[in-house]
Chain A
Amino acid sequence: MLEIYSGALDVESILSRWYRLSLRDNCGAFVPFVGSVRDENGISGLSFDLYEPLLKSWFARCSDRVEKEGATLCMAHSNGNVYLQESSFVCAIYSSKRKIALSMIAEFVEDFKTDAPIWKYDLIGKRRIYALERSTPLYGSGILS
């Protein structure tokens, strides 16, 4: 499942809900990952733009891959501003045994960083500055150049 929220995520509530789903499905392993905003480079927070149509189709493909291994993928992400010591990204994979969930969560988070159509900005003072140097071109980039 994919969930999009305006602003910071309520991590405890989201993970608690997904965790209960894993118990309901008789899974023995629940592996979460949480991405939070840390204090660095003078930022007051981060800001995000999402392109939902492509995000949903990308997530559906990831979810299919995970389900083929008998596991379930959950992800939540923020849209808009998220401030220091708040969280913008939560995901979890649950499966009957630990190995599948442990290996697939790392793979998913790396795919997410390079393939999810989400744009990040640093909030510094009143400015919202695109984090180009930390961003990755998507598949097929440059064909119009």
Chain B
Amino acid sequence: MVSVEFLGPIEIPTMQLEIGSLAELGEILRTIDESKKWLEVSAIAINDTLVDSLDIELKDGDRICLLPPVCGG
């Protein structure tokens, strides 16, 4: 089981999912209208590290975050 948290302006409650890869997560989120629209502009962090590849195996207890575009200051 991994948790998927949606940060900033993405108003989706945290999900708990039985998935083994980011590719599987992408498949699920593309089927949900509210998450689909954020995928193109959102970065992904696994256990608070940004990643740039789908070729990452997920482990039980991993924490995944979706981070939309940022603007501090």
Contact = CB atoms under 8 A, between A and B. Distances in A.
A136 B69 contact: yes
Contacts, number: 113
B17 interface: no
Contacts of A134: 71
Contact of A48 (B26, B49, B68, B72): B72
Interface stretch (A15-23, A24-32, A49-57, A97-105): A49-57
B61 to A, nearest CB: 16
Nearest to B52: A140
> Range of interface residues on chain B?
20 to 34
A113 B72 contact: yes
B72 A116 contact: yes
Nearest to A51: B7
A119 B71 CA distance: 5
Given A140-B50, A143-B51, A49 B8 contact: yes
> Range of interface residues on chain A?
35 or more
Interface in B31-46: 39-45
Contacts of A131: 71
Interface of A: 35, 48-49, 51, 53-54, 57, 77, 88-89, 109, 112-121, 130-132, 134-145
Interface of B: 7-9, 22, 25-26, 29-30, 39-45, 48-54, 65-73
